[in-house]
Structure formats: C-alpha cells, structure tokens
Amino acid sequence: MYTETVEITGHFIDSLLLPKILDDVVGHDTEFDIERLDVGKRQQDPSYARIRLTAKDADTLERVLRRIRRHGAVLVNEEDCGIETADKDGVFPDGFYSTTNQRTEIRIDGRWVAVDKPEMDCGIRVSPDRKRGECAPISEIRAGDLIVVGHRGVKVEPARKPSKEDAFGFMSSDVSTEKPKGAIVRNIADCFRDVKYRGQKILVVAGPAVVHTGAAGHFVRLIESGYVNMLFAGNALAVHDIEYALFGTSLGVYLDRGMPAEHGHENHMRAINIIRGHGGIRPAVERGALTQGIMHACVSHGVPFLLAGSIRDDGPLPEVITDVIEAQRKMREMIDGVGVALMIATMLHSIAVGNLLPSTVRTICVDINPSVVTKLADRGSFQAHGVVTDVESFLRELCGELGLLVR
C-alpha cells in the first residue's frame, strides 16, 4: 500500500472543497483517514484538515494527488516544483504544468512564490534567477525559457464562493430570463463605484449590438463620466458606431425611427471608406470629421481602446489589429489593474477576454441570448456572472443607477 498525507487550510467547509476532495479520493480507489479536522466555529474562522491517503499503487495515488491539488490540497511534505528548459520557440517541454486562472503558488528552493499574471491554459515560466514565476502563453515561449513541469510543488488557492449577502451570488446561480433585473443592475452600479473608489479599472468589452439597439448614447455617457477606463471591441462596433455618427443609421437602419434608410446597407462601407481616407479614427476626430459617438468619446476622453480583427470584418478600420495573436498580446498588456470587466453583446470578444482574465477579476456578461453566457461559463470563466436582458435597456438602467442623465 502507498500512502501520502495532505493538508488543507482555509475556508474549505463553506467552499465545499473538503467534500470535493473526499469525493475525488474515494472515487479513485483510494482510502482516506481524516487525521485531524478543526472546523472554524464562526464564518470568518479558517479550518484545517490533515488527511492520510492510502492506495494500492503509486500511480493511483499520484492521480489522486494531482486531482485534489486543484482544490487546494498540498502534501504535508511538499517538494520543490519541477522545472525544465524549453527546447524550441513556441513549444513547452513535455509534461508542462497547464495553468488555471486561479491564484497559484510554486515552491522553489523551499519557498512558496506567487505566480504572476494568472491566466488559464498557459504554462508557468520561471525567471532565470528562479525567484519568480509567471503565466506565459505558448506563443510567447522562447527556447531556453524555464518552465514548470508536473504538479508537485504547485499550490492552487481556489476562489472563494461569494457570500450570501452578495446579490452576485444569486445572479450567477443560473442563467434565467425570469429574474428581476433592477436589483442586479443596482449591484453592478455599486460594483462600478467600488472599483473606481479602489483605483482599479473598468474594462468594457462590447459588440455592435450596443449600437444596433440604440444604446450608443448611454455608452457615451458612461465614457464621459469616467465609468469606462478601457474598451475592447472589434471592427464592427467601431464601424457601426461611426456609421451612426455620420449617417444616423446602424446596419442601414435609422435608429431614431427604426426604419431602414435608402441604400442604408451601403452606409457602413461609406463610413469605413471615409475613416480610411482620414487614416484612422483618431485623425478623423482630430480633423473634426468624426464629432460624436462611442469612438469619438474614447478619443476625446483619453480612454484607450483596442480593436481586434476577425475574419468577418469589412474594411477594416485602420486602428484594427488584424493579427489575432498580436491583439491578444496587446490585451494582456492592457488588462493589468482591471477590477471589473463588463462584456456586452459579443460572444467572440467575451470569451477571448474571459480567457485572459485572472479569476479574481469580476466579470459580468450581458446578452439577450442565454447561450452566450452558458458558453462563457463552459469554458471555465467561473467568476462570470450572467445577465440575460436587452442590451439597450441594460445600459440605460445602468446609467440611471449611476446617476447619469441619459439624453
């Protein structure tokens, strides 16, 4: 029989982690003996458990250990993490540790070191002086980089479950269209104020339906009032925003009257042509050719924006980063300091940005289509809260809750 002893510390009772660990253990032909269990008597008290595991062979035990590490368990006598050198650019060593977006520590030279830039589906690159570690995507790996392999010496601190008082907890419970939206919008407004107060940034990821549904004006108010510190979008949001600014239409439909314009389907191409003629959005604003709308507001209020390309883009506008890996790289650079990410009406960009964010960044996904939110959660953005509602109404109400007059 093979035996190892693990320990777990923290709020593992109310996080349901202990049962998950025991479940994993008994579900994999391994017996456990709870050698010690100190349950915190009050909600704020941490708990401690020490559990001896016994399996009939080393492989089974190894598999169980690897599994329960995801829930925060570590060996009582943990070793240093394994480190190997990458042979080629863009390729991890075999057996590389594949990251989650949770807070993670690695043990180097007997010390636990926090891993920087938490991001899922990356490897952990160790600094040449072996003092620090950071998540690095495969495309950034260079031959010679030091990469963590195996699972020994890696400790994950799973995200705490939101507390009962937190309306976000209820929001995230399931994706239903039959919920009162008022309270949810109030919570998001509180969250925005709180993030601003703490000096963190509000990132908005938005799709063109923001314009199509007539919500551009609300969005502009949020920008002007400092509630958008960064905008990630695609070519389409910018194109239709500029189409609306120049022609009053979005996808050829007059937004004020809800009627199609004559030859309106051409307007977005004419908008693209005009901006390309000026050399870009910024020059068009500076020369007075673009005087309103979301993109104008970003330029005039100094809100950095990133437009990432997609294969369905028309044009595109000059600012669009057409290389998607380059766009990911830029987004990674920009997200430092983000406290909350609001994702509106865009599945592609929501999932892309969700993949980059650490689990500690609160993520709110608003879409009229429930499957968008479901897909986001399916891909591991556990911290995502879904709101299934009309985009225009949502932004109008959010402005209202934040005390902004909507013109």
User: What's the full length of the chain, in residues?
Assistant: 407
**Does residue 194 touch a second copy according to CB under 8 A?**
no
- Of the candidate spans 101-109, 110-118, 293-301, 374-382, the one that interacts with a second copy by CB under 8 A turns out to be 374-382
**Using the 8-state DSSP alphabet, how is residue 249 labeled?**
E
Q: Is 22 helix (H, G, I), strand (E, B) or coil?
A: helix
Query: How far is Cα 281 from Cα 313, in angstroms, rounded to an integer?
Result: 16
Give the type of residue at 237. Answer: L
Per-residue contact string for residues 195-214; x = within reach of a second copy by CB under 8 A: -------------xx--xxx
Q: Which of 36, 59, 90, 142 touches a second copy (CB under 8 A)?
A: 90
325 forms part of the interface with a second copy (CB under 8 A): yes
Structure tokens at 262: 């004559």
Site for a second copy in 288-307 (CB under 8 A): none
Q: Is 182 an interacting residue with respect to a second copy (CB under 8 A)?
A: yes
Q: Which two tokens stand for residue 208?
A: 């063109």
Which residues within the stretch 2-61 sit at the binding site for a second copy (CB under 8 A)? 13-16, 18-19, 22-23, 26-27, 31-34, 37, 39, 41-43
The Cα-based distances of 164 to 172, 199, 201, 233, 321 in angstroms read 12, 26, 26, 34, 42
Q: How far apart are CA 345 and CA 218, in angstroms?
A: 15
By the rule CB under 8 A, 349 interacts with a second copy: yes
Q: How many residues bind a second copy (CB under 8 A)?
A: 116
Say whether residue 361 binds a second copy (CB under 8 A): no
Piece of 77-85, 91-99, 124-132, 190-198 that binds a second copy (CB under 8 A): 91-99
Residue among 73, 74, 92, 136 that touches a second copy (CB under 8 A): 92
Confirm or reject binding of residue 218 to a second copy (CB under 8 A). Answer: no
**Near a second copy in 260-289, by CB under 8 A:** 260, 262-263, 265-266, 268-270, 272-273, 276-277
Rank residues 342 and 345 by Cβ distance to a second copy and give the closer one: 345
User: Which one, 132 or 379, has the nearer CB to a second copy?
Assistant: 379
112 near a second copy, judged by CB under 8 A? no
When the beta carbons of 85 and 163 are compared against a second copy, the nearer one is 163
Measuring CA to CA, which residue among 228, 184, 242, 245 is closest to residue 404? 228
Shortest reach from residue 359's CB to a second copy, in Å: 14
CB 125 within 8 A of CB 146: yes
Segment near a second copy (CB under 8 A); pick from 106-114, 192-200, 286-294, 386-394: 386-394
Name the minimum Å distance from CB 332 to a second copy: 11
Query: CA nearest 206: which of 332, 347, 340?
Result: 347
Phi and psi dihedrals of 185, rounded to 5?
-65, -40
Q: What is the nearest approach in angstroms of a second copy to the Cβ of residue 13? A: 5
In terms of C-beta distances under 8 Å and separation of at least 24 residues, what long-range contacts does 360-368 make, across chains too? 360/103, 360/118, 360/159, 361/335, 362/168, 362/191, 364/188, 364/191, 364/340, 366/342, 366/391, 366/394, 367/391, 368/209
- Does 143 help bind a second copy (rule: CB under 8 A)? no
Q: Which residue has tokens 């002007």?
A: 224
**What is the distance between the alpha carbons of residues 24 and 3, in angstroms, rounded to a whole number?**
16
